[in-house]
């Protein structure tokens, strides 16, 4: 079978998670098999799986868009169950579908009316910089968009893409599968996970020396797993670097709504490029998703990508690739529409919708602080604050004996530690090795998505397990 | 950029469709630009886009599954808008999701409870042959499943897959993208598009002689674009051939509900393999989808694949690949559930649901006959009946001058003909060359999905255009 597929690793659903799933099964038949009653999944940015409630209004609109008119928007009893602004919004979305409804394949870039709404959202977000709906592709989450662009970049084993270390493993996994080279550039943990231009140039130079044709550059902002939020000038430096070396910039901006640090703001790469006078002068793709932010609608598989500066012929090839998968799911397209355009001030659902969003955001913000402070209070842990995103990536001082034991078992100490944590506490994290890190560093990634009470307990469990672990390997 | 991507062709959304879309735009600004008022899209199996109504009950259940409990199943007014059996079924589906709802990523093979329902459906369909939910993967339509399996098969440019000629272009497109070899075997138009074992052996032998490692074999039953429905013995021959040569059998069975010929029945490859005593003794994957059948829910992107006879290690690798895309969309998973398990006899929606399905099926059956008879009545057309599926694939005698003109334009006569048909009548078909055919043959593929009155007019337009075309190139 395909050797590239065998070589691919995807830690977010890797060995630790598979063990967690089998513990869940054991607990069903033998509830006292472990010192806990259930697994606390902090391995993945999957908010609804750990207690976050869906926003009401988008689900109401979505239900009405799916219902045939006579039993939905045109039913005389519709107002008994649905607010008026949900009915209106559903009618608007249905009008975009030209009578076909949600059961038809759409244009392979996505429904035109929805792309126009996304374009308006981007223009507003970036202070008026123009966005052309023809440059937007609606995608199944960000994943399919990332897959399309990496597919376009990799022609053979000597092609490579620069990715941050640590990085989100969809990049390393996709590159392994495509048979391309992963060219890592290190983020500096001691400088809030920033990347210096010197490091970018060093990494590129080394790759070139090794015969790699570097085609593209991945920037994740806000960072995953690292949580930093970049300044306009930091982004501009990356843009100039990409332009100078003719690299396609993949701007992973799926956490753009998840900024908690009051001194930080999300600046899009598009805005930074415009301010630097570079927009359209180099190739850039920005990804967004309904799975993160405040919506957390992962199961819906909605999202979009925006292309700027592409050669029309290359863009046509990317369209062809999208069309070979026919179209992204319509429910995901509808959710994308509702993410970029909620109820207007004065609409009957406006206040409740904004309140629901604020409640989720404020709680995420409290958890970001509470968990990073909790982890930092553990002897031997060092953890940068989550300025944004949904993750913390603590560095853990591992006892030498544990490192030796991991070696003996043919694994790394991160995995040994994460499995030990899982079996002692039920907390399921991802070993840091799955994201990449500087040699000699160790740790894990955890979300702070479980609800506040549970997350508080988790912090206590992190602490008590670490003491046990040190005791065991002292 | 990736040369494999550039080489890929996907005719179903190729040049003729792109021209049709631009005509649609022109008609908006200048309604009299063409001798018709709108495009009749018969290029793609997209039933809802050409007037087929969604089934009511599945959409009602789906809406309730998406609505938060307090504004949905638990709302005191729910019965004002939804029938009782839709509420019960929605509660059942919600129970499978363990409180997470439709907004969470599911297990990467799909929600367990839904896989159990699919397993029951398969067991019932095949007369009791066991189906293990662990061998099922819920997918985004059939496309992602096909992509995963072909990815597993192709390690490099010397690996190949046997596909029928004519074939559905997702196979040729995926193979081109993966950089593998397409190994064609011809279906015999004069024998109802059957394939002889002699032809399979010839094709395999030739491929081996050319240094191709043939890894897998694609069987499309009922046929696309060719509409034949295979007998148990015809399938058994293919199974023995695959087993003998250690080929993975990809059984594309997405049209299993679309059988119109009263003398034919759909026999699954699994059933045929069991009857031949071969089940589990060779690797086989069967694909199904919510996009076709009676549901026609293309936009939902739902479907599944069932693996049998796979080495557990290889199956684990396929799981890893599925997990790198996280999971298929939950709305598609829910629709798959509703396709395999409708209301029970006695439930309040049972009769209306069955009636809606029967109305759609009966009309499809009438159109299959009406359009094939209409095409056969055109001088120079020959068209096998559609025993099943949604397509007709007529052979058209082309005038020599048209063939020469196509050469001069650097295209093939199928494309010249299809563009001429489009510009004269607004009917958008796919040139037969997009599916492959014997050298010297010409024609196109058309669906019979537009509603009956429109399809009757289309038959007249096929006829009048053909006369004009012959006149032009006589």
CB B17 within 8 A of CB B42: no
Q: Is A196 on the interface with B (CB under 8 A)?
A: no
Contact (CB<8Å) B324/A80:
no
Task: Tell whether A239 and A294 lie within a shared domain.
Answer: yes
> What is the percentage of chain A residues whose pLDDT exceeds 90?
89
Per-residue pLDDT tens digits for A392-401: 999 999 999 9
Which pLDDT belongs to residue A8? 79
The DSSP secondary structure of B94-146, one letter per residue, reads HHHTTT-GGGS---TT--HHHHHHHHHHHHHHTTS----GGGEEEESTTHHHH
Same domain for B132 and B87, yes or no, is no
Judgement on whether residues B208 and B185 belong to the same structural domain of the protein: yes
Instruction: Give whole-number Cα distances, A393 to A169, A390, A428, A432, B24, in Å.
Output: 14, 10, 14, 7, 52
Closest of B279, B408, B295 to residue B360, by C-alpha: B295
pLDDT, tens only, A429-440: 999 999 999 999
Instruction: State the count of interchain CB pairs (< 8 A) between A and B.
Output: 227
Residues B9 and B156 in one domain: no
- Searching chain B, which residue's CA lies closest to the CA of residue A51? B100
Pair of tokens at residue B209: 């002689």
Contacts of A332 in chain B (CB under 8 A): 329
Please say if the pLDDT value at position A161 is more than 90.
Answer: yes
Residue B73: list chain A partners with CB under 8 A.
Answer: none
Interchain pair B103, A174: CB under 8 A: no
Does residue A79 fall inside a structural domain? no
CB < 8 Å from B in window 61-120 of A: 62-64, 66-68, 71-72, 75, 77-78, 80-81, 100-108
Residues of chain A with Cβ-Cβ distance to B105 below 8 Å are 44, 46, 49, 291, 298-299
Q: Which residue of B has its CA nearest to A248?
A: B1
Strand extents, DSSP E, A225-298: 248-252, 284-289
B102/B40 Cα distance (integer angstroms): 36
Q: Does the residue A252 lie in any domain?
A: yes
How far does CA B342 lie from the centroid of its chain?
A: 22
User: For every one of its 474 residues, what pLDDT tens digit does chain B have, with 9 covering 90 and above?
Assistant: 788 888 877 766 678 988 998 999 899 999 999 999 999 999 988 999 989 999 999 999 999 999 999 999 999 999 999 999 999 999 999 999 988 899 999 999 999 999 999 999 999 999 999 999 999 999 999 999 999 999 999 988 999 999 999 999 899 999 999 999 999 999 999 999 998 999 999 999 999 999 999 999 999 999 999 999 999 999 999 999 999 999 999 999 999 999 999 999 999 999 999 999 999 999 999 999 999 999 999 999 999 999 999 999 999 999 988 988 888 999 999 999 999 999 999 999 999 999 999 999 999 999 999 999 999 999 999 999 999 999 999 999 999 999 999 999 999 999 999 999 999 999 999 999 999 999 999 999 999 999 999 999 999 999 999 999 999 998
Closest chain B residue by Cα to residue A70:
B56
A45/A10 same-domain check: yes
B292 and B393 fall within a common domain:
no
CB B260 within 8 A of CB B368: yes
**Can you give the CATH number for the domain in which A290 is found?**
3.40.640.10
Residues A132-146 have pLDDT tens digits of: 999 999 999 998 999
Q: Nearest chain B residue to A301 by CA: give it.
A: B329
Residue B206 lies in a domain: yes
Question: Which residues in chain A are closer than 8 Å to B334, comparing Cβ atoms?
Answer: none
Q: CB distance B48–A103 less than 8 Å? A: yes
A185 - beta bridge partners? A164
Domain count, chain A: 2
Residue B345 lies in a domain: no
List, as ranges, residues 261-320 from B with C-beta within 8 Å of A.
291, 295-301, 314, 317, 320
In a domain, A72, yes or no: no
- Residue A68 in any domain: the answer is no
| A56/B104 Cβ within 8 A | no
Domain span including residue B77: 63-102
Interchain CB distance below 8 Å, B68 and A62: no
Nearest Cβ partner for B54 among A68, A140, A325: A68
Which pLDDT score, from 0 to 100, does residue B100 have?
A: 87
User: Do B297 and B378 belong together in one domain?
Assistant: no
How many angstroms separate the CA of residue A284 from the nearest CA in chain B?
15
And the tokens for B56? 């009511």
Pair (B98, B109) in one structural domain: no
Last residue of a domain, one of B290, B306, B340: B340
Q: Which residue has the tokens 């796979």?
A: B310
Q: Count of CB atoms within 10 A of residue A116's CB?
A: 15
Residue-level pLDDT at B324: 83
Give the chain A residue nearest B46 (alpha carbons).
A104
**pLDDT at residue A419 tops 80:** yes
**Could you give the CA distance from residue B411 to residue A245 in angstroms, rounded to a whole number?**
39
pLDDT at residue number B329: 92
Interface touch B102/A299, C-beta < 8 Å: yes
Residue B12: predicted pLDDT:
65
Task: Closest CB to A300: pick one of B10, B48, B329.
Answer: B329
- Residues B34, B90 within the same domain: no
Is residue B349 included in any domain, yes or no?
A: no
Contact status of A161 with chain B (Cβ, < 8 Å): no
With respect to residue B57, please indicate whether it lies within any of the assigned structural domains. no
A44 in contact with B at a CB cutoff of 8 Å?
yes
Nearest to B13 among A108, A177, A332 (CB): A108
């Amino acid at each position: 079978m395909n050797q590239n597929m065998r070589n691919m690793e995807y830690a977010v659903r890797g060995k630790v998670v598979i063990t967690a799933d089998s513990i869940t099964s054991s607990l069903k038949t033998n509830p006292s098999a472990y010192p806990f009653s259930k697994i606390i999944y902090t391995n993945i940015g999957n908010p609804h799986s750990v207690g976050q409630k869906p926003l009401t209004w988008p689900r109401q609109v979505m239900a009405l868009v799916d219902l045939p008119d006579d039993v939905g928007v045109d039913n005389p009893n519709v107002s008994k169950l649905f607010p008026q602004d949900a009915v209106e919004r559903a009618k608007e979305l249905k009008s975009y579908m030209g009578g076909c409804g949600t059961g038809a394949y759409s244009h392979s870039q996505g429904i035109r009316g929805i792309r126009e709404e996304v374009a308006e959202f981007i223009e507003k977000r970036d202070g008026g910089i123009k966005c052309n709906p023809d440059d937007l592709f609606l995608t199944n989450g960000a994943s399919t968009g990332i897959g399309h662009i990496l597919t376009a970049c990799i022609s053979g084993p000597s092609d490579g893409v620069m990715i941050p270390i640590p990085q989100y493993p969809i990049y390393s996994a996709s590159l392994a599968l495509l048979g391309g080279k992963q060219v890592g550039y290190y983020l500096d943990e001691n400088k809030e996970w920033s990347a210096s231009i010197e490091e970018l140039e060093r990494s590129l130079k080394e790759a070139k020396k090794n015969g790699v044709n570097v085609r593209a550059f991945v920037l994740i902002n806000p960072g995953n797993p690292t949580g930093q939020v970049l300044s306009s000038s930091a982004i501009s430096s990356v843009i100039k670097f990409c332009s100078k070396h003719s690299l396609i910039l993949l701007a992973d901006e799926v956490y753009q709504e998840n900024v908690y640090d009051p001194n930080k703001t999300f600046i899009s790469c598009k805005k930074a490029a415009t301010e630097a006078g570079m927009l359209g002068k180099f190739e850039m793709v920005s990804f967004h998703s309904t799975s993160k932010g405040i919506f957390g609608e992962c199961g819906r598989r909605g999202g979009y990508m925006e292309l700027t500066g592409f050669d029309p012929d290359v863009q046509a090839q990317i369209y062809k690739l999208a069309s070979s998968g026919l179209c992204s799911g319509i429910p995901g397209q509808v959710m994308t529409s509702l993410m970029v355009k909620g109820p207007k001030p004065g609409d009957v659902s406006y206040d409740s919708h904004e309140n629901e969003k604020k409640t989720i955001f404020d709680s995420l913000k409290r958890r970001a602080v509470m968990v990073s402070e909790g982890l930092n209070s553990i002897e031997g842990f060092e953890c940068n604050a989550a300025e944004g995103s949904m993750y913390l990536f603590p560095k853990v001082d591992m006892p030498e004996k544990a490192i030796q034991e991991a070696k003996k078992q043919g694994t790394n100490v991160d995995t040994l530690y994460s499995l030990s944590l899982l079996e002692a506490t039920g907390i399921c994290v991802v070993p840091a090795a799955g994201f990449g890190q500087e040699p000699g560093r160790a740790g894990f990634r955890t979300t702070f998505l479980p609800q506040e009470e549970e997350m508080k307990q988790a912090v206590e469990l992190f602490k008590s397990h670490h003491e046990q672990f040190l005791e065991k390997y002292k």
